[in-house]
Structure 1
Amino acid sequence: MDVPELLEAASLLVPERIATENDITVNDVWEYLVHDEWEVALDLLEELGDVHQLSLSFWETLATAAEQMRLEKSAAWCHWRGYETRHGIIRADLTLRPAAETRRQTPISGAGVLRPMWNIGHRTATGAPALNTARLWAEFTPFLEPGGHTAVRLAPLDPSQWQHLQPGQVITMHENRSVAGAAVVLEIQRPSATVTT
C-alpha cells in the first residue's frame, strides 16, 4: 500500500466518537487526506491514538506510513506505541543524577534509543540487586541532560519481570553499577485484550 492508502486504512480503525482535547476527530483527518496533506493527517492520527487506546494494527499501519514518508521519529513513536499496545504502558517521573555525580557527561536521546538497566526490586540468589533492561522514551524532550528531570515511558525487554510495579514505587536507573537516576512510577496500564490485534 502507498502512504494515502495506509493513512486511510489507519483512519478506519479510529472510532468516530473519540476526539482530542482540541476536538480533533477522524473527520478532520479525512479532510487532510482529501487535500493530500499526509504528514498533518499522520500527526492527527497519532494524537487520536494517544487519547484513546487503539489496536496494534492501527500503530503498525501508521509506522509503515511514517517509514514510507521518511519520518523517522514518527515511525519510532508508532512502533513504540505498538509495543505498548502488546505489553502495556509504564510511565515514570525520572530525575538523572548531575554530571558531577555520575559517569554520564552528555545528554541522552529521548526517543527510545537508550536501553538502561533498572533496579525494580528483584534480587539474585546471593541477595544482590538483579537489574532489568528497558528502553526509555522521554515524553516532553528530545534529549535529557545530566541532572535533568522529565516524564518517561519504559519498554522492558522482558515485560513479565515488571508486572509487580505499582504507582508511587521508586526504581533506579543504571548505565553501569552506579545509580544514574531515580524514577517514581506514575502509571501502569496493562495491555487490553481487545486492542492487541
Structure 2
Amino acid sequence: MDVPELLESASLLVSEEIATENDITVRDIWDYLAHDEWEIALGLLEELGDDHPLPLTFWEKLADAAEQLRLERSLAWCHWRCSEIRNGVIRADLTLCPAAEARRTTPIAGHGVLRPMWDIGHLSPAGERAVSIAWLWVEHMPSLEPGGRATVRLVPLTPSHWTHVQPGQQITMHEDRTVAGTAVIREVHPPAGAMPTR
C-alpha cells in the first residue's frame, strides 16, 4: 500500500465520535488526506490514537506510512505503540540520579532505545535482588538529563514479570549494579491479549 492508502485504511479504524483535545475528528483528517497533506494526517491520527485505545493494525499502518514518508520519530512512536499493545505498558514518574551520584553523566535518549533493568521487587532463588528489563520512552521530551524528572512509558521485555506492579509502587532503575533512578508507577496496562473481555 502507498501512503494515502495506509492512512485512509488506518482512519477507517477510528470511530467518527473520537476527537483530539482540539476537537479534530477523523472527518478533518479525511480533508487533509484529500489535499495530500499526509504528514499532517499522520500526526493527527497519532494524536487520536494516543488519546483512545485503537487496535494493533492501526499502529502498524501508521508505522508503514511513517516509514514511507521517512519520518523517523513517528516511525519509532508507532512501533513503540505496537509494542505497548503486545507487551503492555507501565507509565511512571521517573527521577534520574544526579550525575555526581550516579554512573551516568549524559542524558538518556527519550525515544525508546534504552532498555534498563528495573528492581520491581523480585528475588532470585538465592534470595538476591532480581531485575527485569523494560524499554523506556520519555513522554514529551527528546531526552532526560541526569537529575531530571519526567513521565515515562515502560514496555516490559517479559510481561509476566510485571503482573504484580501497581500504581503508587516505587521501583528503581539500573544500568549496572548502582541505582540510576527511581520511579513511581502511575498506570499499568496489560498486554492487549491479557485484557479482560467485555
Q: Into which bin does the TM-score normalised by the smaller protein fall?
A: over 0.9
Corresponding residue number in structure 1 for 2:3: 3
Superposition deviation, residue 47 in structure 1: 0.4
Match of 2:79 in 1: 79
Write the mapping of 1:46-195 to structure 2, written as runs, cut at 5 A: 46-193=46-193
Q: Secondary structure at the match of 2:122?
A: coil
Q: Secondary structure at the match of 1:122?
A: strand
| 3-state SS in 2 of match to 1:23 | coil
Unaligned runs of 5+ in 2: none
RMSD of aligned Cα (Å): 1.3
Compare 185-194 and 140-149 and name the one that shifted more. Answer: 185-194
Superposition deviation, residue 193 in structure 1 = 4.7
> Which amino acid letter does the alignment assign opposite residue 148 of structure 2?
G
Per-residue Cα deviation, 1:36-67 (whole angstroms, up to 9, x for no partner): 00000000000000111000000000001001
Instruction: In structure 1, list runs of 5 or more residues that go unmatched.
Output: none
- What secondary structure sits across from 1:180 in the alignment? strand
| C-alpha contact (below 8 Å) 2:6/2:62 kept by paired residues | yes
1:87, CA displacement in angstroms?
A: 2.5
- Distance in structure 2 (CA, Å) of the matches to 1:194 and 1:3: 32
Q: Which has the higher strand share?
A: 2
Amino acid at match of 1:166: Q
What is the number of residues matched between the two proteins?
Answer: 195
- Identity among equivalent positions (%) equals 67
Q: Deviations over 1:122-159 (max 9, x none)?
A: 00112111011111000021010000000000011101
In structure 1, what residue type is equivalent to 2:147? G
Deviation for aligned residue 1:194: 10
- For 1:120, what is the secondary structure of its paired residue? strand
List structure 1 segments (4+ residues) > 6 angstroms apart after TM superposition: none
Q: Which residue of 2 aligns with 1:12?
A: 12
Give the TM-score of the pair, scaled to structure 1.
0.96
Shift of 1:192: 4.0
- The TM-score with structure 2 as length reference comes to 0.96
Secondary structure at the counterpart of residue 121 of structure 1:
strand
Aligned counterparts of 2:189 and 2:24: Cα–Cα separation in 1: 24
Q: Distance in 2 between matches of 1:64 and 1:192?
A: 21
Q: Distance in 2 between matches of 1:73 and 1:96?
A: 23
Query: Corresponding residue for 1:39?
Result: 39
